[in-house]
Amino acid sequence: MREPVIELSSVSRSFPAEPPVLALQDVSLRVEWADYLAIVGPSGSGKSTLLNVIGLLDRPTSGTYRLDGIETTSLRDGARTKLRGSRIGFVFQSFHLLAHRSVVENVMLAEIYARHDRKGRKRRALEALDQVGMGHRVDFPTDRLSGGERQRAAIARALLGKPSLLLCDEPTGNLDSRNTAAVLDLFDQLREQGLTIVVITHEDEVSTRAKRRVRITDGVLTEE
């Protein structure tokens, strides 16, 4: 039986203050392979803290987090960084593309930073761009792309390492309605191909496209 991609058990995260700030309170969450989950909530609800914990960018104060069956809370920083690089692809509201580089060069940078084998790097980048429908733009400078095309290039970059999880933080926040719909269509296609997707969003248009929706309020997570 396949392990869940994400399994949070009684996770809490507090920050030093007077009194302490409890950003996450006893959060439990299970996300299976090829699931598509939206996490919604108002500003200050704990969404960003939950994103950082799931993305292995922060450690919970208490509780456990298993990613692909691997218990992460006890791992050393180097092992967490390696696991994050191999299992999680990140997509952000800001595309974080280099304007003076071509689309394919931007995608290839993902492997340079992760120190993957150089052999076959361009081929893998071109395959990722084909996967997101950007095969016709590989040599374009990114500043000549539309917002939707930039986000597709960013998604291709996130897919380059063949992650188990695509973790998206307000991925349509800088897009108009037409490009938002195109990116959401792409997420549907990627899920059908077996990718697990978690989207942090405050937009109903985005969250209603997911298979599941959970809400976080004052650090407390509830399934909708």
Tens of pLDDT, residue by residue over 141-180, are 999 999 999 999 999 999 998 899 999 999 999 999 999 9
Percent with pLDDT over 70 in the chain = 97
pLDDT tens per residue across span 98-153: 988 999 999 998 876 555 667 778 999 999 999 999 999 999 999 999 999 999 99
Contact 110, 118 (CB under 8 A): no
For the question of whether the overall pTM of this predicted structure is more than 0.95, the answer is no
Q: Catalogue all structural domains in the chain, each as residue range(s) with its CATH number.
A: 6-223 (3.40.50.300)
pLDDT band at 222 (very low <50, low <70, confident <90, very high): very high
Check pLDDT > 90 for residue 69.
yes
pLDDT tens per residue across span 41-62: 998 899 999 999 999 999 999 9
Contact 145, 95 (CB under 8 A): no
133 bridge partner residues: none
| pLDDT (mean) for 185-190 | 96
Triad 12, 84, 82: Cα angle to 5°: 125
